[in-house]
Amino acid sequence: MKDEEGNPEYCDIWAGGPHGWLCTCFSKGYVERNYDTLMLHGAVPDGAYLDVFAVVPGDECYDPLHRMTRSESLAYRAACFEEIRSRGMIVSSEEPADWAVPYLDLVHHAPHALIPGPGSGPAIGVPIPLFSLVYHDAVVVPWSLERGAWGIPESDLGYLYGLLNAGIPYLSIQPNDVEIGIVRALAELHGRVGFFEMTGHMFIGSGHRRQRTEYSDGTTVEVDFNTDEYRIVAPDGTIVAEHPGK
C-alpha cells in the first residue's frame, strides 16, 4: 500500500514490529491460500477472526498498479468475510461497525468511548446501547465481566453492560463460583432474547446511572451502575434473575 507521495505505508506501533501494509485488493487471495493450505493439512476451523477488518476505517492506496479508494477497501474486506462464510465458517472481527454487520456473526467486543482510551478511563459522555437498538438481533457481541475492563468505564462493571445489551459473556480460564453465576445469567438472557430486537431504552429516576432495556418479546433488563444491582423480568412479569447490589 502506498501513500499520495508513492511511498510505502509504514507502521511500527504493534507487537509484530516494523512492517508495511498489504493493499487490501490482494487480501482475498491470501485468505483463500491460507485456508486451502489448512485444509490440505487436515485442519478445518469452525470459524475465523479477521482482526481489525471491521474496526479500522477504509484504506487508500496510490500505487498506480492497484489504486484503491476507501470504499473499495471496505468492499475487499467484505469479500474476505464472504469467503470465510462460503466455507461454512463463523465470521468474526474486531468491534462492530455498521458497514460490516451484514458479513459478521460476532465481534471481539464493543467498547465505549473512554478518556484517554482506547480501552481505559472514564466514559466520554453517557454510554447507552445505541448500536444494540439497531443491530442487537443481527450480530453477537461478547462482554468482559470485570470493573473497568477493556472498553468499560473505569467505575463500572462490564457484566452490567453485558446484561443491559443482552450480549454473551467472556469467561476466565479459571473462573470462580461468583463468575460462573454471572456467566450463567448472561448466557441464559442471551438464550432468551439473542435473536430479538432491542425495542427500547430508558433512564430510571434522576440521573443516568439506572437504566432499562426492553426486547421485542417483552423481556426487560434493569441495571444500576451505582449499586451494581440488576433485574431481568420475563414478559409475564416473573423475575428471571436479580442481584441486590452492594
C-alpha cell at position 115: 478518556
> Can you name the residues that pair with 90 across neighbouring β-strands?
47
Alpha helices in 149-217 (DSSP H): 158-164, 177-193
Instruction: Report the C-alpha gap between 189 and 217 in whole angstroms.
Output: 12
Task: Please answer whether residues 163 and 223 qualify as being in contact, where contact means their C-beta atoms are separated by less than 8 angstroms.
Answer: yes
**What's the pLDDT at 245?**
79
**What's the pLDDT at 117?**
80
pLDDT tens for the chain, 246 residues long, are 999 999 998 888 878 888 888 999 999 999 999 999 999 999 999 999 999 999 999 999 999 999 999 999 999 999 999 999 999 999 999 999 999 999 999 999 999 999 988 789 999 999 999 999 999 999 999 999 999 999 999 999 999 999 999 999 999 999 999 999 999 999 999 999 999 999 999 999 999 999 999 999 999 999 999 999 999 999 999 999 999 877
Instruction: Report the C-alpha gap between 234 and 43 in whole angstroms.
Output: 43
Rounded to the nearest angstrom, the gap between the alpha carbon of residue 160 and the centroid of all alpha carbons in its chain is 16
Task: Please answer whether residues 183 and 171 qualify as being in contact, where contact means their C-beta atoms are separated by less than 8 angstroms.
Answer: yes
**Per-domain residue ranges of the chain:** 1-108, 109-246
**What's the pLDDT at 27?**
97
